[in-house]
């Protein structure tokens, strides 16, 4: 197989969360190609289940100009914070819940043709309410609600649940329920894309 050697690389944009890198890569047949890469710190999301229902949050997303139903989620933007700890923090901050039982549900590369963004989706069970730490900006108007998992799955299939992480999360959760939660990975399972964040803390 061809060795896709990196011939040159430069950061052309550095934002608050992301950076954009311009790479020149050796291609098969002796040619080269420019690839623009969005560098992303990674993220976590939580499928919280309680009594056959899944917890969704709703917030405004500026790039699409409307509010979306999503899973509680957040960036891996705290230096040295394990992914599980970040997921637990986001569940509490965004929705006001905590959970006793945690598993890795799925790991995904969100759009590997243009970004290195990786997300780990956890399954949280034995859920109870805790104090919510109100954040800022769009999160000031974030709401949380419980929806029967079957309805969330139907919304994904109908195209009304559009957030990619939420779609993959509820579909994977449905399969996990069908299997009686057997075969799920522990919360500190290895993570190919973000090995440094995989530990449980």
First to last CA, the chain: 39
CA 7, CA 46: separation in Å to the nearest integer?
39
Could you tell me which of 87, 97, 88 has the C-alpha nearest to residue 42? Answer: 87
- Residue 139 is among the residues annotated as catalytic for this protein: yes
Instruction: Identify the helix (H) or strand (E) that includes residue 200.
Output: none
Contact between residue 103 and residue 181 where contact means Cβ atoms under 8 Å apart: yes
Q: Which of 90, 139, 162, 196 is catalytic?
A: 139
CA 59, CA 70: separation in Å to the nearest integer?
8
Contact between residue 107 and residue 121 where contact means Cβ atoms under 8 Å apart: yes
Which residues are known to be catalytic?
139
């Amino acid at each position: 197989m061809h060795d896709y050697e990196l011939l040159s690389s430069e950061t052309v944009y550095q934002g608050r969360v992301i950076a954009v890198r311009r790479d020149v890569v050796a291609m098969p047949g002796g040619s080269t190609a420019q690839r623009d890469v969005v560098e992303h710190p990674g993220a976590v999301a939580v499928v919280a289940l309680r009594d056959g229902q899944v917890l969704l949050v709703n917030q405004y997303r500026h790039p699409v100009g409307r509010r979306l139903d999503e899973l509680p989620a957040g960036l891996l933007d705290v230096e040295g914070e394990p992914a599980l700890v970040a997921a637990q923090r986001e569940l509490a901050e965004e929705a006001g819940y905590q959970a006793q039982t945690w598993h890795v549900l799925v790991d995904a590369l969100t759009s590997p043709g243009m970004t290195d963004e990786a997300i780990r989706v956890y399954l949280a069970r034995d859920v109870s309410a805790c104090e919510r730490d109100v954040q800022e900006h769009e999160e000031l108007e974030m709401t949380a609600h419980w929806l029967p998992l079957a309805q969330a799955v139907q919304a994904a299939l109908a195209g009304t649940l559009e957030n990619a992480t939420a779609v993959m999360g509820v579909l994977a959760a449905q399969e996990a329920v069908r299997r009686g939660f057997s075969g799920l990975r522990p919360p500190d399972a290895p993570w190919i894309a973000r090995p440094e964040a995989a530990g449980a803390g």
